[in-house]
Amino acid sequence: MEEITTFIKDELLSWGLSQSWADSFTKAIILVFILAIAFLCDAVCRHVILKVVAKLVKQTKATWDDIVFDRKVMIYVSHMVAPVVLYLLLPLAISNGATLSFIQRMCLIYIIAVFLKFISVFLSAVYHVYSQREQFRDRPLKGLLQTAQVTLFFIGGIVIISILINKSPMFLLTGLGASAAILMLVFKDSIMGFVSGIQLSANNMLKVGDWISMPKYGADGTVIEVTLNTVKVRNWDNTIITIPPYALVSDSFQNWQGMRDSGGRRVKRSINIDMRTVRFCTPEMLAKYRKIRLLKEYIDKTEKVVEHYNKEHDIDNSILVNGRRQTNLGVFRAYLTNYLKSLPDVNKELTCMVRQLQPTEQGIPLELYFFSSVKDWVPYEGIQADVFDHVLAIIPEFGLSVFQNPTGEDFRALR
């Protein structure tokens, strides 16, 4: 380069220019030459190298490189070429130390800013690649991405400020120690969100796709996004609720994903039986119930057990009501138990029972407790409704009635 500078200066002197003018024109020509090189390198990178890389990437079978080496990502690499060339070659054209130092610092700041943007876009591309994979789809990757980006720009901001004031980055970090309280106040939500996001992920408390309920914040739906500062929940009415991550750690919320991963979804509902309709079964009633397929085996078995017990203890059947200890409510419970176990949508491996609860002034609560193997909301509600439709329709066959206050029977009695 010195030979070129000498050659240009000699040519200008041969044209009759003075030494000072020859030096000025020489530096101006070299500066134009350096700018031309910088812009030429930038054009080659953008219009030649990037196109070659794009063609090579498209020829591969993998899809991840199409995103990582996308033009939007690689364009930031080409933007760094021109300022790097200027930073290295400007000392040949500018001899003024202060001017050179200022221009080089501006170039360095631009290089760092573009590099930070490149890393940020690159991380975003990596996030899009992994978020589409099945094993990472339910992980809070967006929160980790935002944390990495915030950390990256924070460090980059310190380096840029240190270049502007011509101080070491450690000088700024030492000064930031004294203002840590202010920084914690300013970035409180981000810090708490970052820590809470780690806790949610490490303890597997929450992930994208989970169904959660949090009445305090009006949330009852599916988690659609977990970020650094918010957790977005799409409610069943299609409204979207945003919850701070630290609220999910500090407060209580219900995660229904365990139910979805289990063998069934619980049904626990009861109906109130009018106590006035409960009575001992007569032989005619038992004969009628024996014709019901779900009850025949139960009634026959119960009769044999009672007869065997009476013989062993020398009990006279005449002192018993009808010689049986069966009531229409007890037979009805047995019928419902067998009915639930006969349904294909009821999980037989989980708890399935029909039980009486504490009698109240509103009758005897008869509770059906079982698990539906179908866990999706709409078909689950349909199964539950079908079961209780059948229960309400079959109750009169056992001489029972549902408690209602007041009922039509009450008004007829008054008349």
Contact 352, 367 (CB under 8 A): no
Chain centre distance of CA 339: 39
**Could you list the residue range(s) of the whole structural domain that residue 305 is in?**
265-414
Residue with tokens 């069943």: 236
pLDDT at 3 exceeding the cut of 60: no
Compute the average pLDDT of residues 14-23: 58
Q: What residues form DSSP beta bridges with 371? A: 266
**What sign for the dihedral angle of Cα 36, 39, 44, 45?**
positive
Residue 79: what residue type?
A: H
User: 318 falls in which pLDDT band (50, 70, 90)?
Assistant: very low
Same domain, 250 and 269: no
Instruction: Tell me, yes or no, whether 188 and 213 share the same domain.
Output: yes
Instruction: Give me the sheet containing 353-356, strands edge to edge.
Output: 265-273, 364-372, 353-356
With CA atoms as reference, report the closest residue to 227 among 254, 208, 205. 208
Same domain membership, residue 181 and residue 130 = no
Q: Do both 62 and 84 map to the same domain?
A: yes
Q: Report the domain count for the chain.
A: 3
On whether residue 148 sits in a domain, the answer given is: no
Instruction: Report the share of the chain in percent with pLDDT over 70.
Output: 72
Q: Is residue 156 part of a domain?
A: no
pLDDT tens digits for range 43-80: 887 777 777 777 776 676 666 566 666 666 677 777 78
Cβ atoms within 10 Å, residue 211:
18
Q: Of 195, 226, 256, which residue is a domain's last?
A: 256
Q: What is the pLDDT of residue 342?
A: 93
For residues 174 and 182, what is the distance between their CA atoms, to the nearest angstrom?
Answer: 15
Residue 96 lies in a domain: yes
Tens-digit pLDDT profile for residues 110-137:
888 888 888 888 887 777 777 767 666 6
Query: Rg (Cα) of the chain, in Å, rounded?
Result: 41
Q: Is cis: bond before 406, omega within 30 of 0?
A: yes
DSSP 90: G
**Is 157 contained in some domain?**
no
CATH number at residue 248: 2.30.30.60
* Same-domain status, 240 and 280: no
292 φ/ψ sector (left φ>0, alpha ψ -120 to 50, else beta) = beta
- Looking at residues 178-206, what average pLDDT do you find? 69
Q: Give the pLDDT confidence of 135-186 residue by residue, as tens digits.
A: 666 566 666 777 777 778 878 888 888 888 777 777 766 666 656 666 666 6
Give the CA count within 13 Å in the CB-facing half-sphere of 9: 14
> Which pLDDT band, with edges at 50, 70 and 90, does 4 fall under?
low
Residue whose C-alpha is closest to residue 360's, from 257, 275, 254, 260:
275
Q: Tell me, yes or no, whether 71 and 172 share the same domain.
A: no
Euclidean distance between CA atoms 233 and 215, whole angstroms: 12
- Rounded to an integer, what distance in angstroms lies between the CA atom of residue 191 and that of residue 279? 67
